[in-house]
Amino acid sequence: MRMTYIKNGETLSYDASRCNGCRECVEVCPHAVFAMQGPKAAIVDREACMECGACAQNCASGAIRVTAGVGCASAVIQGMIRGTQPACGCGGAAASSSGSGCCGN
Amino acid sequence: MSKGCCEFVTGSVVADGRSIPTVSTRLSPRDIAGTWKVRWNIGRDHYSVAPGLYAVGAPTGESPVFVSANYKLSFDVLRQALNGVDGWILVLDTKGINVWCAAGKGTFGTRELEQRIAGVGLERIVTHRVVIAPQLGAPGVSAPHVREATGFRVKFGPVRAKDIPAYLAAGQKKDEEMRRVRFRLTDRITVAPVELVQGWPVLLGAVLVAMALGLPLDAGFLSRCLSYALSLVGAVIVGTILFPALLPILPFRAFALKGAVLGAVWGVVSALVAHGTLAGGAAMALAGAAVVSFAGMNFTGTSTFTCQPGAELEVKVALIPQIAGGVLGVGLLAATRIFGL
């Protein structure tokens, strides 16, 4: 079942003129946002993009930009409480903080 | 690290004049119990293995290198999938966090991978220059940067470790399905219990509110308490277990809205079952909507397809209504008790 979400993919930008056809974006995207069309990549499902940043991290030619973040309301709330960017604070000393709804995996 | 340090170490191999611990590819009853416990949030904050280099099977300098997080569940899933494979496992220090979360935080990251490769002297262990990382590590790892810094090429293997044998058989190539993250019913149900257990303060609050609503302490106290508890505690269970199960069929895309709908339905149904009044039903619908909306919204962090701007918008729009709705709903329930509505 195709699952989409509000505001998915809005910060994703792609410059085809810089694409060298290495296919890394296709290989690393968990939701098939990119597909090869001929020698170059293309965005085929922007609404599936959760802005994880895997593509931008691994595009050697800098053709992809996205504002990577974590789609976690709990992290947003904890950031608000602490006055920081969204952060879940799990792992290490902060692990015992309430952090509800943290990454179930 | 010597044999016997940990249950899963079964021996060692010698490489580069050093002893590298060999790990079992079979999960012991203790491993399986450990997996079950962390799924229920027990001991989840310190379920890790020591970072460093390990061996599976009888690897040589030509054997593949697989990268793992040091969350023990990640490590166990990987080594189990490597049954029959001769390989190396490079465990990164992700502070005991799983691959995808750690990648998002940057701990399953470029720098940690580069430092770990150098730290274990990987270039003296293997003759090739490839490490196979889980695909979900990609948000945190820049393969171009790692290649520049270490000479090692990062290949992103399948999303799920169980696809590794097929991946290797295909010459280290992934098919479409190996690259996709799915969030099927079984996946959603697997990660739901943690939400329930982490919601213990809300569960406790629901019990206390139920007890308060059941007052006075007369003959009918227990039955009133149970009736309110069923609805309120039930709302928490609906929000943390039923919500994940029904996620794709609930209306709207925002989780707070999906939850509000489910919670309102639960409130009405549970009030009907408890033979409540119309006013009581309306109050419970409001309280139920608030609780399940909040719990549902918090499931965004556990889900696999939500972006940060969306989560931020949800919190900005829904958090205050959720709190207000909860307070108002409980207040109205109290009013129905006090004024016999």
Domains of chain A, by residue range, sit at: 1-89
Q: Is A10 on the interface with B (CB under 8 A)?
A: yes
Nearest CA in chain A to B135: A28
Any idea where the domains of chain B sit in the sequence?
9-179, 185-339
Q: For B58, what's the count of Cα atoms within 13 Å in the CB-facing half-sphere? A: 0
Q: What's the pLDDT score for residue B111?
A: 97
Nearest CA in chain A to B109: A57
CATH class of B9-179: alpha beta
Q: Is B43 on the interface with A (CB under 8 A)?
A: no
Residue A91 has pLDDT above 60, yes or no: no
Q: Out of 3.40.640.10, 3.30.70.20, 3.40.50.12780, 3.20.20.370, which CATH number does the structure's domain A1-89 have?
A: 3.30.70.20
CB contact under 8 A, A102 and B308: no
**ipTM of the prediction:** 0.91
Contacts of residue A72 in chain B, CB cutoff 8 Å? 300-301, 306, 308, 311
Region B187-211: mean pLDDT is 93
Which tens digit of pLDDT belongs to each residue from B159-194?
Answer: 999 999 999 999 999 999 999 999 999 999 999 999
Q: How confident is the model at residue A103 (pLDDT cuts 50, 70, 90)?
A: low
Region B208-215: mean pLDDT is 92
Contacts of residue B190 in chain A, CB cutoff 8 Å? 104
Decide: residue B194, CB within 10 A, 0-12 exposed, 13-18 middle, 19+ buried: buried
Three-class secondary structure of residue B123 per DSSP? helix
Interchain CB contacts (distance < 8 Å): A and B:
197
Are B297 and B318 in contact by the 8 Å Cβ rule? The answer is yes
Are B317 and B256 in contact by the 8 Å Cβ rule? The answer is yes
Q: Is A56 on the interface with B (CB under 8 A)?
A: no
Q: How confident is the model at residue A86 (pLDDT cuts 50, 70, 90)?
A: confident
In the 8-state DSSP scheme, what is residue A83? T
Which tens digit of pLDDT belongs to each residue from B64-120?
Answer: 999 999 999 999 999 999 999 999 999 999 999 999 999 999 999 999 999 999 999
For B163-169, which contacts have Cβ atoms below 8 Å and span 24 or more sequence positions?
B163/B81, B164/B66, B164/B78, B164/B81, B164/B82, B164/B85, B165/B81, B165/B84, B165/B85, B168/B64, B168/B85
CB contact under 8 A, A104 and B195: yes
User: DSSP letter string over B233-267?
Assistant: HHHHHIIIIIHHHHGGGSSSSSHHHHHHHHHHHHH
Nearest CA in chain B to A28: B135
Which tens digit of pLDDT belongs to each residue from B222-257?
Answer: 999 999 999 999 999 999 999 999 999 999 999 999
In the stretch 83-122 of chain B, residues with CB closer than 8 A to chain A read 94-98, 100-105, 107, 110
Of A6, A57, A102, the CB nearest to B198: A102
For residue B210, the Cα-to-chain-centroid distance in whole angstroms is 30
Least confident of A67-76, A90-99, B25-34, B249-258: A90-99
Residue B1 has pLDDT above 90, yes or no: no
The closest of B294, B262, B329, B101 to B195, measured between CA atoms, is B294
Mean pLDDT of chain A: 86
Nearest CA in chain A to B100: A105
Q: Is B41 on the interface with A (CB under 8 A)?
A: no
Of A6, A29, A74, the CB nearest to B298: A74
Q: Which amino acid is at B242?
A: L
Phi-psi region of B57 (alpha: psi -120 to 50; beta: other; left: phi over 0): left
Q: Report the predicted TM-score, pTM, of the whole model to 2 decimal places.
A: 0.91
